[in-house]
Structure formats: C-alpha cells, structure tokens
A and B are shown apart, each in its own frame.
Chain A
Amino acid sequence: MSHSSTVNSSMNLYLYQLKSLILKEYKEAFRDKRALIVALMMAFMAPVMIVLMSKITIEKLIDEPPIYVNFNGAEYAPKLMEYFADNNLLSLADVPEGDKAIWQQRNITVNIPIDYETDMAQGRPIKLYLQADFTDKAVGSPVRRINNAVRSYSLNIGYKRLLLRGVDVRLLNPITLVEQDTSKPDATFMLISIMLGIYLMLAAFMSGLSVAIDSSAGERERNVLEMLLCQPVSTLQIVLAKLISASTISILGIVLVLGLTSLSVGFVDLTKIGATFTLDISTSLTLLTLLLPICFFASACQLFVAFQTKSFKEAQSTVSILIGIPAFIPFVVSLMDDRPEWLNWLPVAGQSMIIENIFKGVEVNWLAFIATSVVTITITVVLVLALAKKLKSEKVVMALS
C-alpha cells in the first residue's frame, strides 16, 4: 500500500476495523425504519397492556356491580334498606332501562314481613324470605351478596344487644380462623408482574430479532456476505459487530419497556387493590442489569440459527421458534412448585425467577444473580466463537451461491 496510511499496531487495526463494522451495522439497522418500528412495537405495547389490565382488574375487584332486588315491604324496614343500598343492593324500581329485562327475568324477591318493626323492637326473631330460581347461575352471586348483607346486618344488631346487656361479644367467637395470604401482595398484582416479567423477556428476544436475521441471512440473500468474507477481517470481528448491533436494539427495547411502564403505572391507582407496584429507578436498573446478558444471549442464538439456514424465509420461520423460549420458560417456571436448584443457573429461567422475586418484593439473591449472568454470558461467548468458526467453514461459503 504505497500511498495509504495504515492504522499502525495490529491491535489498533483490529479495533478500528471492528468499529467500522459496528458503525455500518448500526447504519443499516437504524435506517430500516419499518423493521425497527415493528421490532420496538413490543416495547410500546407493554405499558398500554399493563395499564389496561390493571384498570380492568381494579374495576372488577372494587366495584360490586349493582343488584336490583324486588323488595316487598321495603317501607317496614327503612334502616335495613339503607344498609342494602350501601352494599349496592338496590330496588328493582330503580333499575335503568337497559338492564330492566335482565333483572325482571331474574326476579330476585325479598319479602319483609309487616311486623318487622315491632318484632325488631321486641327482640323477636324475624324471618325475611328470599325467592329466586336458585338453579340459575346468574342468580348465585346476587343471592350470596344478599345473604352476606343480611347476615352481617343481623350480627351487628345482635352484637349491640349483647353489649347493652354487658356481655363480651368475643364469647360468640370461641374460634377464629385467621387467613394469612402467602402470595405476596395480591394475586392480581402478581399476575401483572408475572406478565411484565414475561414481557421483558420477550422484549429482549423480539426487539433484536429482525436486525439479527437481516444482518445474517438477509445479507447472504442480498449477495453482500461474500464480499465481506473476502475482506481482511476475521469472522470473529464480523460476528461481534453483528451481535453488538442486534443486541443494542434489544437493549433499547428493554429500556423502552421499563421506562414507559414506570411512567404509565403512575396513571393507575394500584393501591386500591392493595398493590404497591412501583417501578422506581433502582428496580429498573436492577432489571436492566439482569437482562443485559439475556439481550446478548438472545441475539447470539438468533445469529447462530439464522446464519445456518438456507434462505431468509427459512431464517425467519426458524428464528421465530426461538421466541418460544422466553415465553415458555418463565411460564413453566412460575407453575413449578418444587424448583430444582440448577434452574437458578440456566439462562432465561434463572433471570425469570429473579424477576419474579423482585416483583414480589423478596430480597434479590445476588449470588444467583451473578451465577445466572455468568452462565448466560459464557454460553453467549461459546455461541459467538462457534459461529465465528462456522463462518470460516466451506459449508457457509458454498451456501453463498
């Protein structure tokens, strides 16, 4: 090279070439706007999904939907009616036009006797009659709620009577069953956090997917890979550049999911269901650090598979199967009761258990954190080296034409 200043030391040259390779991969990845948007769609959808899910579950839990009952003799028990109304048990007369047919058909009737007031004043037992078609499933829940309301109203009065006579009400409850819910805060909240955990895994695998396929099988299909393989760069440099480019997009996906979720969670009042779902900066950073190796692992897997397929189409379908891993493993892990120790170490499984613990509010097991990260990184390195070796093989070259 007569009139070209070459980069001097071989290490510098290696890094300079790598930089040029990465730069080109970035240019191609970020200029393919449509593929990029599709890839990051996942990230944009996560917060929307979480907000929607929380809203729906909160409404379900908080709202006891109004029940319309045909009260006969309501005028005899005004206080009881007030109590019913507080519990959203309303009179059939007040039913809105739209629901009229349904409630008339269900025809739940409560009969209050004429002598309710006098019997109550004199402390005589009163019988209220509840009439409904008990085989009708739709009637089940209203009947239960009426039952509960009457019982607690009745108990209330009973307690007051005993108190007036100087009797300790606790005598009525020799045994009390205390229910302790070991599922940390709330089942619904847990569902949301498990979903978010799976979502984060999926985002790590899906965001970089199109870039990984495009830069491997896509380049071969567009006949640019042969030119690249003929250049004075090692296959390891080529693989590293493509890995870094694809995993950057995947990291971007995760940062977006975390950022947008922590923003959007602020719009939902989760305290109503007893959840303290805060995705604060330190939690987000922990999750990001935990998922970084997964991003590289995912891209390495995808590149490894895509480079070995015969066409772009085959690469797309085969790599899509890989998506099953992040969706399936956390799901299976969350269903397992007795988790074997080695599960902590596996990529994806290990991370998803730590994510689960983070959301449960359990102290992070940093040893497991480091162990699973190291294992994941090791597997990634092995994949990269194997792929670099494979790219030198004649099979890959023969697949060029």
Chain B
Amino acid sequence: MLMVFSKLFSESITMIEVNNLHKSFIDKKDKNNTVKALDGLSFTAKDGEITGILGPNGAGKTTCLRTLYGLLCADEGFATIDGISVTEKPLAARAKLGIFPDKFGLYERLTAYEQIDYFASLHGLSGQTKKQAIAQVIEDLDLSDLAHRKTVGFSQGQRMKVTLAQALVHQPQNFVLDEPTRGLDVMSTRILRDYLAKFKAKGHCILFSSHVMQEVAALCDRVIIVANGKLAAQGTPQELCDLAGETNLEDAFVKLIGTDEGVAA
C-alpha cells in the first residue's frame, strides 16, 4: 500500500533531478587532452523508487554523483535535490542527502558508534534525538556487537555497514550510493539490498550507481543507462530488455550502449 501511495505521490514531485549536465576535465598543458566526462546528461530519481545508474567504467557515473554532492561544478546544466539547487545552496542540498561515496574509509581511531555519532552531529542532530537515531540505525543494521569497537581491522562488510549507518543516521529523504557493493560478499550485499528495500518502502528516494547487472536487475525500479557522459536509455529493467529486444539485462545493456567495451569490468 505504502509503495503504491508513494509512487502515486512522487509522480508530481521530483526528488533528485539532473538536467543537461556537461562537464569536461581540461588538461592545462595539452588542450587536446580534454576528457568529456558528462555530455548533456539528464535524468530524475523519484521518491519511493530505487533508481540505478548503470554504465561501463568511465561512463561518468562518479562524476555525475560528485556533481550531485556539489563537489564538482558542472560546466553547463544543473542538479537539484528536493528542488534545491546544488550549486547555489550546496549545504542545504547536502542536508537532504545521505551519501555513500565512491571511496569510503573509516576513522580507524574512532569506534563505530563515535563515527555514526560524528556524522549525526554534522547533520545537526543532538541530545536525545541523536541518541535515539543512532540506536535505531545500529539496531537496523545489526551493528550492536561492533558499535563500541574501534574500526581498525573491520572486514569490508563491516565497513560497509558502518558507512551505511553514518550515511543514513539522520534519515535523509534522498540517498545516493556510488557503487556500494564493490568488494562485498553475498551476505553483505544481501544486508545492503534488504536495507535499501526497507528504505524505499518508507518513501525515500534512492539513487545508486553500479556496473553489476544482477544487482541492478534485482533491486532497481528504474534503470538509467549512461554511456560516454550521455543518457543512453532509461526505463524499468523489463522495458530496457524490450527496447533492445533481448531477454536479459546484460545483453540489453551491451546493445544499448552500442559497444561491449567495459562490460567485462
């Protein structure tokens, strides 16, 4: 019920919008050596949906997401989060975001609890509310055994959980993950998937990038295929298969981006 409701609701309000993004990285010494990372990319990610950005390595996924966090400044076009322009009000936009970045590390001299507490505080949570929020996220992610240990020596799966917890402790309306399943085993991937599904059910907007087909097929309501900094195709996994006339998403993907380069990666 809730899902149906939020889907209906989100038809009118777009939560994350990327519009006609252009971004080039110019080599100052050699003007010909310019990399066009984004070439007019546009898409939207809605509340109560999991939107997947699928693309080969170097397609511009990370650049796009970094533009969304306001770390990079687009040459052209704009990105908004809940209607807030990322370039004009980066701090206000980020306050609406939970971010699982491309490279995630942990403060190894802090305990897991302290890390989550730290990010909760940066989002302005304090006092009893903060305590409750941390307790909740620790319970949700089954982190209680690890919570008061220093994070040095944590496994990749445990690190993922802590990063997830610190990104979500403030219950952001929008959640962006940059290739979160990299280096995770099946069990950790399942935990992540279950958690994202729960989050979606609560009506949050989830955007995540990946190049793992099965994951995208299993998890995403909508898929955005990015190639060479442009939108190559978008739709539900089934729609994409139909569009390409293929039965599985992988073949559809290869057909849609027009090359098999990078798929093996």
| Residues of chain A whose beta carbon lies under 8 Å from any beta carbon of chain B | 1-7, 13, 16-17, 19-21, 24, 27-28, 31-32, 222-224, 226-227, 229-234, 394, 397-398, 400-401
Contacts and interface: CB of A to CB of B under 8 A. Distances in A.
A28 B115 CA distance: 11
A226 B103 contact: yes
The 9 closest A-B pairs by CB, nearest first: A223-B105, A20-B121, A223-B103, A232-B95, A232-B94, A5-B129, A31-B109, A224-B105, A222-B105
A5 B171 CA distance: 12
26 contacts: A1-B171, A3-B129, A4-B130, A4-B133, A4-B170, A4-B171, A5-B125, A16-B124, A17-B121, A20-B118, A24-B114, A24-B118, A28-B110, A31-B109, A224-B105, A226-B101, A226-B104, A227-B105, A227-B166, A230-B69, A231-B119, A232-B95, A232-B122, A232-B123, A394-B73, A401-B102
B195 interface: no
Contact of A17 (B103, B108, B124, B129): B124
A392 B247 CA distance: 45
A16 B121 contact: yes
B124 A6 contact: yes
Contacts of A227: 99, 101, 104-105, 163, 166
B102 A2 contact: no
Residue from A4, A32, A398, A401 having most chain B Cβ neighbours under 10 A? A4
Contact of B71 (A6, A28, A397): A397
B111 to A, nearest CB: 10
Interface residues of B, number: 43
B106 interface: yes
B243 interface: no
A233 B120 CA distance: 12
Residue from B70, B94, B101 having most chain A Cβ neighbours under 10 A? B101
A401 B103 contact: yes
B9 interface: no
A7 B120 CA distance: 12
A230 B99 contact: yes
A237 to B, nearest CB: 9
Given A1-B123, A222-B108, 12 more contacts: A3-B133, A17-B124, A31-B109, A31-B110, A223-B105, A224-B107, A226-B101, A227-B99, A227-B105, A230-B101, A232-B123, A397-B72
Given A7-B126, A222-B105, A224-B105, A230 B121 contact: no
A229 B123 CA distance: 13
A156 B81 CA distance: 100
Interface string B174-213: 0000000000000000000000000000000000000000
Contact of A24 (B107, B123, B125, B171): B107
B127 interface: yes
Contacts of B107: 24, 28, 222, 224
B149 to A, nearest CB: 14
Contact of B25 (A17, A27, A230, A398): A398
A2 B172 CA distance: 9
Contacts of B101: 226-227, 230
A389 to B, nearest CB: 13
B109 A4 contact: no
Nearest to B65: A230
A294 B163 CA distance: 38
Given A1-B170, A4-B171, A397-B72, A21 B122 contact: yes
Given A7-B124, A7-B126, A16-B126, A394 B110 contact: no
Contact of B122 (A17, A224, A398): A17
Contacts of A400: 103
A47 to B, nearest CB: 30
Contacts of B114: 24, 27
B122 A233 contact: yes
Contacts of A224: 104-107
Nearest to A396: B71
Contacts of A398: 25
B255 interface: no
Nearest to B117: A20
A397 B101 CA distance: 12
B137 to A, nearest CB: 12
A260 B162 CA distance: 43
Interface in B118-162: 118-119, 121-127, 129-130, 133
Given A231-B119, A232-B94, A397-B66, A3 B171 contact: yes
A359 to B, nearest CB: 40
Nearest to B91: A232
B4 interface: no
Contact of B94 (A3, A21, A230, A394): A230
Contacts of B70: 230
A32 B150 CA distance: 12
A239 to B, nearest CB: 15
